[in-house]
Structure formats: structure tokens, C-alpha cells
Amino acid sequence: MMHKKVIVIGAGFSGLSAATSLADQGYEVTVLEKNATPGGRARSFEADGYTFDMGPSWYWMPDVFESYFNKFNKSVSDYYNLVRLDPSYTVVFGEDDFVDLPASLDELKALFENWEPGSAARLDKFLEQAAYKYEVGINQLVYKPGRSVSEFMSLRLLLDVLRMDVFQSIHTHIRRFFSHEKIIKLMEFPVLFLGALPQNTPALYSLMNYADISLGTWYPMGGMYKIIEGMVQLAEEKGVAFLYNQDVQEIEVEQGIARRVRTATGTFEADVVVASADYHHVEKNLLAPAYQTYTDKYWEKRVMAPSCLIFYLGIDKKLDNLRHHNLFFDEDFGPHAHEIYTDPKWPAKPLFYVSAPSVTDESVAPEGCENLFVLMPVAPGLEDTEALREQYFNIIMDRLEYLTKQDVRSAVVYKRSYAHRDFIADYNAFKGNAYGLANTLLQTALLKPSLKSKKVKNLYYTGQLTVPGPGVPPSLISGQVVAKEVAKDYALAPGQRLPVSN
């Protein structure tokens, strides 16, 4: 009997998750990856003795990663060494105003109390509610495929949703508990990962504060790419085949069924296709117009999470006054946010983020040197030129050098920039976005682009433009959710199951 063949397009977190989950159940899975290595936005590269993670640099929600590997009777520790950072990160509010966020909750409460008497007790109450939201949100809601309103119709789940402040903004919610400006900035910071203003983000996402404060900030020694290496190793153990440098040109559909996936170098038969590539790109460029679910008008109305300008810098000395994660909040976020979400343009006074993994991990830089990942969020869809990149490099370096009181530019021995046109070239990213769709109330669950095509019976989507949303843990979950839907719609008969390696 023929085994059911699944073609997965893209080897990012969601694609790897979907491929491994399906192979584990007995499907014959082949992953077609456009680039030369797996990982998608989480790829890595080496240059002049430095090892750079290209995209994600924050390891939050360690339970989601552990749960993923546990599904296959494995553990995170089987693939990489995870360490908790302390301090979790540093926030730079201005000259000589650096605040370390301690890993210890008691120490954090003491810090808050020093700023705002009574805030320690209110933080306990805030986190109690956030823990409930995390339990329901991460362990129940994000695993919903969002294909039918009936998924959310159980009385208990309806009551849970009402308790989770989905109709109140996180901006308002935080201000019910705290009034000190620095505390508010710290509490609003985690929702920036969701790609929308706090005013437009449901208070449900205080679960991100729980992830930040209670579950902590971690780091896989060797870099974030160690996660990808572990996931690929596990996928191969389950029988997944990987083919690289396979730029998909077309999904061949006959009478509403995807029959083949054609790349620049070959054609692959398919019983099921799972697209982990950019949703908009797959619809508009890989499918004939008759099989596209969403119109150009629909896509233009989507609220996108930001893109970003990134600099990968090799520094030939050790630097002072930097932690592993550093948030430069020395400028007002309001105008920068306006220039991302309301009136898209390159920002006048941007906030930015610096990761220095070499502070924790000596393996990512030559001895006595520093590895810097510098990120500035910007609106998607902007003009992206070398001149603009250089202009903002100097703006950021001016502030970094002033605030950390040292020369940095003269010590740069390796420099690479990455922005909109690179996201488009490498990932076919809609408008050069970096993170996907913003997690606004009107782009949640059923209101996101569907994980199953409405026009092609056996075509599914996974990743940051569908449920549950942007970020590494949601992408990891997205792959598991779509695999479950495939297994439900295209169940294998006993004779179709491939032997699965342990």
C-alpha cells in the first residue's frame, strides 16, 4: 500500500515542527527548503571566527520547548545545554541609568517597591492573573486550529476567555496595577514581541509578563541555532528527508487538490502540502489565481508586525556596560511606535536592542572579542537602501557609545546589515516583515488567515502568518497544530504507517 506523502515547504520552526510531528505518526515527509541551511529566520552564519544567530535571540517559555521534545520521548537536554540568564536583561533609560532585571522574583519586587511603594504586592496580584492566562492561553487556546467557532464553545472555555481580559488592552490593564513610568515601560516591553502597540494588544497577553518574570530568560549555549540543529536531528531520527536550495516555483493543483510541488530543480508528488513559507507568497506566487483564498485588498488591510534593521558586528575587544540582552529605552517609545504603526517611516529617534551573547558564551566570538547583534524595529514596506542603513548605523553607534561610555566603531572588524530587502530575498516575506501578523484582537484565532486553504483541499499553512501567531514558541506550536489537523483529515490506514525510528 502506498504511504501518504507530505511535502513541507520551508524548514523554519513551524515547518520542522510539522514535519517531525507527521513523520512520527507514519507519514512520508520531505522538507523543501529554499536556502542552503535549515532554520528560516533562525539561521546562523560564521564569519572571521564569529558565530551569529541571524534572527531570534530571546529564549522564553522554556516549557513550550520542553513539551515539544517530550512528545517524542526526548528532552531539550538531549540536544542542547540551556542556561538561565541573571540578570534576565538590562534596560537603559538614559545616561548612567541602567536597570538590571534580576531573575529572582524577590529581587524584582524589591526593585519595584523602591520605585513605587506598594507595587510589590500588586505585582504578585498581577502575576497571579497572568499565570492563569498563561495556563489557559498557552496550554489550551494556542493549540486551537481556528477553523470553526465551535472550538471555543465549551462553557468552561467561554468562562476562561471572559476571565482573560480579551476585550481590554494590555496598556489599560498594566495601569490598573502600576503608575511609575519605569515599571510601566518594563511591563509593556514583553508585548512588543507580539508586533502591536500595547493600546491595541489584548490584556490576555499579560501572559507574556508571566513568561518573562516567572519562567525567566534562557540561552542555549552555542547560540539559538542549537535549537534548530536539535530539531533537525530529531526530524531525521523520525525519517524526515531534507532537500536544500529548493526554491519552490509552483504548487500544481488539479480539480482543487494539490498534486505536486515544483521547484527550480525538480517536481515532487504530494498527498498533502504544508506551507511553512510566507503565507502571502504561497498564495500569490505559488498558486493559480483560481486557488487563492485571500485578495490583495485583504492582505493590504492586515496589520503587520514590524520589520527590523539588524547589524551583525564582530568587535575585536571586550566591551563595558553591556549584558547579554540590552534594551535602549533612552528615547520616548511613543514617536517611534507612531512611525512604525500609524505613519510608517524611518524613525527620527529610534529605540534599539543589543544582544551580546559573547558575554555569556565564549564560543561565539574569538578570545577577547565581542559578538553584537543590534536590532532596530521599523515599519514594514519601507524603502531600504545602503545609505539609510549606514545612516542608522551611525545614529545607533552614537548613542551606544555615549551611553556605555566607550568607543565601539573603531573596534568593529566585521559588519553585516540585514533589513527589508533581505527578508524578501531570503524568505519572500510580505512587505519585508520580520515577525508576521500583529497580535491584535481583530487578528486573533478565527480572525487570522486560515491554517487550511479554502480552495485547495489538501493544502495547509503553518507559521507566523496563521494561528497562533508570531514568535518562536507560537511557531513551534503552529507546526504541531497543523500536523494534528492533517492527521485528522488524512488519517493513515494501518498498512500505510511507516516504521518510525526511536
The amino acid present at 274, given as its one-letter code, is V
Q: At what angle do helices 62-70 and 225-237 cross, to 10 degrees?
A: 10
The amino acid present at 232, given as its one-letter code, is V
Query: Average of pLDDT values for 252-266?
Result: 97
Distance of CA 332 to CAs 185, 232, 300, 339, 455, Å? 10, 41, 29, 12, 46
| Spatial separation of the C-alpha atoms in residues 72 and 77, rounded to whole Å | 13
Per-residue confidence band for 154, with pLDDT thresholds at 50, 70 and 90: low
Per-residue confidence band for 85, with pLDDT thresholds at 50, 70 and 90: very high
| Spatial separation of the C-alpha atoms in residues 448 and 450, rounded to whole Å | 6
The amino acid present at 496, given as its one-letter code, is Q
User: Per 3-state DSSP, what percentage of the chain is helix, strand, and coil (rounded to 5)?
Assistant: 45, 20, 35
Give me the count of residues in the chain.
502
Average pLDDT score over the chain: 94
Per-residue confidence band for 194, with pLDDT thresholds at 50, 70 and 90: confident
* pLDDT above 80 for 230: yes
pLDDT tens column, 291-335 = 999 999 999 999 999 999 999 999 999 999 999 999 999 999 989
pLDDT tens column, 332-346 = 998 999 999 889 999
Query: Are the C-beta atoms of residues 209 and 126 closer than 8 Å to each other?
Result: yes
Query: Average of pLDDT values for 57-64?
Result: 97
* pLDDT above 60 for 110: yes
The amino acid present at 265, given as its one-letter code, is T
pLDDT tens column, 5-32 = 999 999 999 999 999 999 999 999 999 9
Distance of CA 374 to CAs 48, 124, 248, 314, 341, Å? 18, 33, 31, 11, 21
| Spatial separation of the C-alpha atoms in residues 210 and 65, rounded to whole Å | 16
Per-residue pLDDT at 445: 86
User: Torsion angle of alpha carbons 427, 429, 433, 435, nearest 10°?
Assistant: -60
SS3 of residue 311 by DSSP:
strand
Query: Average of pLDDT values for 444-449?
Result: 90
pLDDT tens column, 367-412 = 999 999 999 999 999 999 999 999 999 999 999 999 999 999 999 9
Per-residue pLDDT at 1: 42
Per-residue confidence band for 156, with pLDDT thresholds at 50, 70 and 90: low
User: Torsion angle of alpha carbons 379, 196, 469, 90, nearest 10°?
Assistant: 90
* pLDDT above 70 for 92: yes
Query: Are the C-beta atoms of residues 202 and 191 closer than 8 Å to each other?
Result: no
Per-residue pLDDT at 283: 97
* pLDDT above 60 for 285: yes
pTM: 0.96
Query: Average of pLDDT values for 203-213?
Result: 94
Q: Going by C-beta distance under 8 Å and a sequence separation of 6 or more, which residues neighbour residue 497? A: 3, 25, 26
With pLDDT > 70 as the criterion, what percentage of the chain qualifies? Answer: 96
| Spatial separation of the C-alpha atoms in residues 141 and 148, rounded to whole Å | 13
* pLDDT above 90 for 441: no
* pLDDT above 50 for 260: yes
Per-residue pLDDT at 486: 98
Closest CA to 464 of 489, 484, 436, 438: 436
* pLDDT above 90 for 147: no
With pLDDT > 90 as the criterion, what percentage of the chain qualifies? Answer: 85
Q: What is the CA radius of gyration of the chain?
A: 22
Query: Are the C-beta atoms of residues 462 and 14 closer than 8 Å to each other?
Result: yes
Closest CA to 32 of 222, 187, 247, 231: 247
The cell numbers describing 39, all together, are 532554520
* pLDDT above 90 for 454: yes
Q: Does the N-terminal peptide bond of residue 468 adopt cis geometry, omega within 30 degrees of 0?
A: yes
| Spatial separation of the C-alpha atoms in residues 211 and 208, rounded to whole Å | 5
DSSP string, 344-399: -S--SS--EEEE-GGGT-GGGS-TT-EEEEEEEEE-TT----HHHHHHHHHHHHHH
* pLDDT above 50 for 467: yes
| Spatial separation of the C-alpha atoms in residues 153 and 124, rounded to whole Å | 31
